[in-house]
Structure formats: structure tokens, C-alpha cells
Structure 1
Amino acid sequence: MRSGTVRPTPPVHFSVWARISLAIPVVVVLGFIYVPILLITLLSFQGPQGGATFPIRDPGTLWYRSLSDLSVITEHPDYLGQAVFDFRASIVNSLKLAVTTAVVSTTIAMAAAQAMRSRFRGARLATYAILLGIVTPGLAVSLGIVTVSSELGITAGLFTTGIVAHIVWTMPFSFLLFMVLFNRFDRRVEEAAYTLGASRLETFFTVTVPIMKPAVIGSFLFAFMLSFDEYAHSIFIMGADRTLPLMLVSAAQLRITPSIFALGVLIITVSLILLLAYVVNVRRTFRRQELRGA
């Protein structure tokens, strides 16, 4: 064999028992993730005489129809008086908070990732500080924010303490997404713009941002979904405002009804639609870039 040539790595072959032993943990983990979703989906079609457990009696869409009036937990007479919550207001609060959090997190994360490209002194420490929001327990973050806000005389609410906690939680994920794409970014494209006389600001908005469009959309959708269904970072800090996760937990503590399952299935469905839309958009973007490169 000639010196300097690289021998290809032979494929790894596993025995049948090795494959089974490797597959069992994967199946168990996937079961913990998806079996509860399957169960609440089935129970959401429970009939009027059925409860929140099996068996399913007279399956139908009663509990989905009951969600047309979101001011109460259910419309069925057997459950009236069990729990009354303003779900409409909680959904609106969650949407407003999630959209605002997604916009702010995406903006800050993109600016931070752009700054890290210059590799200034202390960049690694700054990166660790940003990522600290992922590993810090949500309950600790909530307690810390509410303590500081009370000392400063700031009233706890959706757009005071609430948005700060959600940005601390979602921004690191957006930052990681931008860092991954910036590491694959070809600096020669920006250098060509500089050569043609474009300023740094013009280059950023006319060259960098369009290329980073998949990361921008992905960051927004990811931050939106993280904020919309976040519970741990919402405890103690929302004041009189209630988001949908807080309202659902309060309702479930009194009595679990199939209407809660129906609402959960709708939330999961919307999340999957947003994720699918993002994947389709990314594929179309990369396909256009490949066609232009060809």
C-alpha cells in the first residue's frame, strides 16, 4: 500500500442479539415519548358517558366541539361545575407571549452569533454564559426573577417577569441554531460584497440575512413552540396573567376531563404543522441554492 493513502473503514457488523440489545433502549425511550400522546389522542374521542380513562364509550367528537366555548373546561352537564377556567384568555396570553419571545430571542441570538464570529477575547466565556439558560432549572430561574423583580418594585406579569424568563429559556436554543449555520457560512460571499463597496451594515442585510433565512425561520418557530407550552419557566412569575400550560395544570389538579385531552391534541397538531412547514421551507431554500450554484 502506498504511503499516505487512507484505507476505508470496514463496515461494522452486529450480531442479532447485539442489535436487539441496542434496539430495546431505543424502543423504551420512544415509547415513553409517543405512547402518552397516542393515549390522550384516543381518549380525546371519548363519548358523553365516558370519562378520562379506558374503555372508550360511544366515541365521537363531543369534546372537540365543546372547545368552541373556551371559557369553561367542558360543556357536558355531567362535568359542569367541576372546574371553570378562562381558557380563551390563557390561549391569547400564550400566543402573545410566544410571538414576542420568538421575535426577541431570534434577534438577540442572531446578533450574539454574529458577534461570536469575530472571536474576541472572552468569546468562549460569553458562549458558556448564554448556554447556561439551558441547564439552569426553570424553577430556579423563576424564583430568581421574581425575587429580583420584587426587590426592584416590578410587578410580575406577562411582559415584565414572564417574557424575561422565557427569553432566558429560548434564546440559547436559537443561539445554537445560528452558530451551527454560521460555522458553515462561506465568508468569501461577504468579502466579495465588501470588495464591491458595500458597507458592513449593507452586507449584513443584503447578503448575510438572506442566506441565514432558514435559521431565522427555524429560530422563530422553535422559540415560539418552546415558549407556548413552557410551564417550569412560567411558575410564580406571571402574576395575575395565566398562560395555557398554567391553566391546564390548574384544571387537571381539580379533575381531568376528555376536553383537556382534546385541547392537548390540537396543540400537538398545530406544532407538527409548524414543524412540517419549516422543513418544507428549508428544503425549498437549499434546493434553490443548489440550482443557483449549478
Structure 2
Amino acid sequence: MTEVSTITVCVLNDPVIYVYWVSQGKKWCDLCKIFINNSPSSIRNHELGQRHKENVTKRIANMRDEKVAKDKEKKETARVLSQIEEKASRSYQKDISTFQNATSVGAPTSSEGTEWEHDTSSGYYYCKSNGCYYDPNSGFYYTDALGKWVTQEEAFAAAAKHSSGPIQKKPTFATPSLTSKSQNDSKAQRSTVNPTRSVNKPSSLAINKRKRPDNKSKVISEEEAAALKAREAARKRVEEREKSSLGLYKHWYVTTHYFLFEKLVKSMSWKSGAGNERLFK
């Protein structure tokens, strides 16, 4: 479809009429995915059609479903975040109360009447009767039977099973700093993973190294043996072929250079040429 357009141009007060053809563009319907004529009547007729109305209804339903899904996802995310925050808050309050109780009490108390002494070098409390350590900052206990920091009940139960009598010797160790200190303090106190391990004790990683089994002759098939034999023969052929180029098995390199040097000396006009010729006789 084309239409005729006219433009009137005034040149020297004389009207001049130019007539030319203009191509009419198409209009794209995003719902129906088709092109229609770009005229009011064509657009109106297309919008009143049954196909276009069904596409509009379908698009509105899809938009409504997407909005409901987004709202549901937002509510679920908010619920999960609230649960995480609530759990973290409870854990934080529990840690704060434990820390405050441990700091206020200082040395631990026990119903068994154990005596605790404070070690100034490590900052922990030590019990001679069961050999447990107590950290007032964290509120945990350490025993040789478990080898890790645990609660009071676990430490005392493990210590009772580990040894029935009192511990005669207290191991010395460097305690890790639990709070932020200066650089000099951190250099003075070197922390170790196991506090009861002696300084000069060899590491368990360096003992009982795994030994590799002896290399035994494997049983190979006839095809594999033939392939190995052919590869060895090819290697020898290549070696024989490259011997001459390497210059390691023949003296042609030295002989040729000696001959060239002799020829050069004879060709030079030296005053004592007769004496030099004797060198090559």
C-alpha cells in the first residue's frame, strides 16, 4: 500500500508543487508477533480481533502469575533470613552469658573439691588431681585423654577414665593468645596445637613412612612384548643413524679441522716458514 504525498514549496513567491511517492511502513504487534498496516483502521480492526484478545488475556495471566511467584519468593526469603538472624542472636547471647560467667567466676569450681592453680606463663588454670586445664576466657577445659578443648563434664569424665591417680608432672606449653595483643607479645608466646606435646618430640609424620613394595616383574602379553621389542629396535636404528651427525664416535671433525689449520699455516708467508713446516711432517 502506498499513498501520494504533496509538498508545496514557495520559491521567489511562486508556489511550486512537488509530487512524490511514499512507502507506507508496517506496524509490529508484540502480542501476536505479526506485522499489520500502519493505519488507524487496520490497527483498530486487529485489536478487535479474537486472536489479539486471546493473546492479551494470556499476557495478563502470565504477568499475574509472575507477580505472585515473586511475592512468594520474597516472603520465603524474608522468613529464612529472620530464622537465621534469630538463631544467630540466640547463639550470640549464649556466648556472651558464658563469657561473662567465666570471667566473673575466674577459677572454676567443682563438686569434687579439686584445687586449681593459676599458671602465669600460659594464663590457664591447672588441676593436679585430674590434669585438666581451664581457660577463663572461653570457659572450656582441656585434658590429655581427649586432646582438645571441651566442656567441663566431658573433660572430667575423660580424665577420670584416663587415669585413676593424681598426675605427678604438669606439662608446660605456650598458650595461644585469645585476644588481640601487641606484636611483641605474639612473638614472645608461640602457640602450639597440642599443649602437652614436648618441644623436642619428633613429629608423627616423620615416623613410619610408607614403604613402596618391591618392583616385581609384571606378566606381559605377547603383543606387548612384541611392541617393546620393536620400540627397542627402532631406538637402536635411530641411535646408529645419528652417530655420524653427533661427532662422538668418529674423528672426522678433529681431522678435518687439523687439515685446515695446516693448510692455513703453510699458506701464510712467515719468515720462519721452514721451521713451521716441520711441525706437520
TM-score by length of 1: 0.17
Q: Which is higher, the Rg of structure 1 or of structure 2? A: 2
Q: Relative to total residues, which structure has the larger helix share, 1 or 2?
A: 1
TM-score by length of 2: 0.18
Indicate the structure whose relative CO is greater, using CA pairs within 8 Å and at least 6 residues apart.
1
